[in-house]
């Protein structure tokens, strides 16, 4: 079953406390121009304020997660000039620090190395030191747990059915994911920032059991929701953009 709510995930009132086993999401990235307008509408025009908006959503995730439930956040850092100086905005570090402050336990994270369209993308001039910049070609999948690890009854049938293979374990639980292709964006003006379905698919199989409930508070095009449903999990999504939310709802109610 897929449930979609149109609205701001800073308040997920229809979702009961301790009812979600896994959150898989990718928020709007602070300091990426694509999201400036949205953050401004939510009252945030600085890096700190944008992270405060996201933090309110992480706090709601803490509320709705079951004890031992997991939160997986796909996020990239941003590069942007500030006061005329080029700088890195370390979104992944900010989310880690704020998540920890909310009482979540940070776990070892994944690095998703995106194959670059231009493998030699390079910010600098020619081959002269010292002022060139390293290419930002990895995104993070941060992992947090709420409280202590979750225990399931011995010989739980759904857990046994959710088993992954040795080859899957070896590939999925190694820190660098270099084999997931980035999603193609839609036509200009309708960029979706969707992540490839392989990302939620892996995370859902790694960190939830068949029949459990997966939440995406920043549902976008619904990649997480449909991956969850295809894997026999229930899914809950929030989306603030009314047009996108209506599309999700329509698709979720289609036979």
Ligand X SMILES: C[S@@+](CC[C@H](N)C(=O)[O-])C[C@H]1O[C@@H](n2cnc3c(N)ncnc32)[C@H](O)[C@@H]1O
**What are the residues binding ligand X (CB under 6 A)?**
8-10, 26-28, 38, 57, 192-195, 217-218, 220-221, 223, 238-241, 244
Nearer to ligand X, 146 or 244 (CB): 244
Q: Which of 217, 213, 215, 214 is nearest to 240 (CA)?
A: 217
Nearer to ligand X, 27 or 69 (CB): 27
Tokens matching residue 182: 């980035």
Query: In whole angstroms, how close is the CB of 40 to ligand X at the nearest point?
Result: 12
Compare residues 9 and 142 and give the one whose CB is closer to ligand X.
9
Nearest distance in Å: CB 54, ligand X:
8
Q: Are 20 and 252 in contact, with CB atoms under 8 Å apart? A: no
**Which residues are paired to 124 by β-bridges?**
none
Which residues have a Cβ under 8 Å from the Cβ of 211 and sit 6 or more positions away? 158, 232, 233, 234
Nearer to ligand X, 53 or 206 (CB): 53
* Rounded Cα gap, residues 135 and 122, in angstroms: 6
Q: Which is nearer to ligand X, 47 or 218 (CB)?
A: 218
Could you tell me the smallest distance in angstroms from the CB atom of residue 183 to ligand X? 7
Q: Decide if 194 contacts 223 (C-beta within 8 A).
A: yes
Q: Which is nearer to ligand X, 50 or 120 (CB)?
A: 50
- Residue 50 and residue 31 in contact, taking contact as beta carbons nearer than 8 Å: yes
Nearer to ligand X, 146 or 201 (CB): 201
| Least gap, CB of 206 to ligand X (angstroms) | 17
Query: Which one, of 220, 212, 243, lies nearest residue 150 by Cα?
Result: 212
The residue among 7, 9, 28 whose CA lies nearest residue 215 is: 9
Nearest approach, Cβ of residue 168 and ligand X (Å): 22
Q: Could you tell me the smallest distance in angstroms from the CB atom of residue 161 to ligand X?
A: 26
Is the C-alpha dihedral spanning 155, 164, 112, 32 positive or negative? negative
Minimum CB distance to ligand X, residue 148 (Å): 29
Identify whether the C-beta of residue 43 lies closer than 8 Å to the C-beta of residue 236. Answer: no
State residue 24 phi and psi, 5-degree precision: -125, 120
For ligand X, the nearest residue by Cβ is 220
C-beta neighbour count of 147 within 10 angstroms: 14
């Amino acid at each position: 079953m897929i449930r979609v709510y149109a609205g701001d995930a800073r308040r997920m009132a229809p979702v009961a406390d301790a009812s979600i086993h896994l959150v898989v999401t990718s928020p709007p990235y602070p300091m990426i121009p694509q999201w400036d307008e949205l953050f401004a509408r939510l009252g945030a025009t600085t890096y700190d304020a944008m992270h405060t908006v996201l933090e309110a959503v992480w706090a709601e995730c803490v509320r709705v997660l079951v004890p031992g439930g997991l939160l997986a956040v796909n996020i990239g850092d941003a590069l942007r000039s500030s006061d005329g100086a080029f700088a890195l905005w370390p979104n992944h570090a900010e989310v880690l620090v704020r998540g920890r402050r909310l009482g979540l336990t940070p776990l070892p994270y994944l690095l998703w190395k995106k194959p670059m369209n231009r493998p030699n993308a390079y910010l600098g001039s020619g081959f002269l030191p010292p002022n060139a910049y390293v290419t930002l070609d990895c995104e993070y999948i941060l992992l947090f747990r709420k409280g202590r690890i979750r225990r399931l009854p011995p010989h739980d049938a759904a857990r046994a059915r959710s088993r992954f293979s040795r080859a899957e374990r070896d590939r999925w639980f190694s820190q660098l994911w270099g084999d997931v292709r980035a999603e193609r964006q839609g036509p200009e003006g309708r960029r979706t920032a969707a992540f490839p379905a392989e990302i939620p698919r892996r995370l859902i199989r790694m960190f939830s059991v068949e029949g459990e409930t997966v939440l995406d508070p920043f549902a976008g095009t619904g990649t997480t929701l449909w991956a969850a449903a295809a894997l026999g999990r229930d899914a809950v999504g929030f989306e603030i953009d009314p047009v996108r939310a209506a599309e999700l709802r329509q698709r979720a109610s289609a036979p």
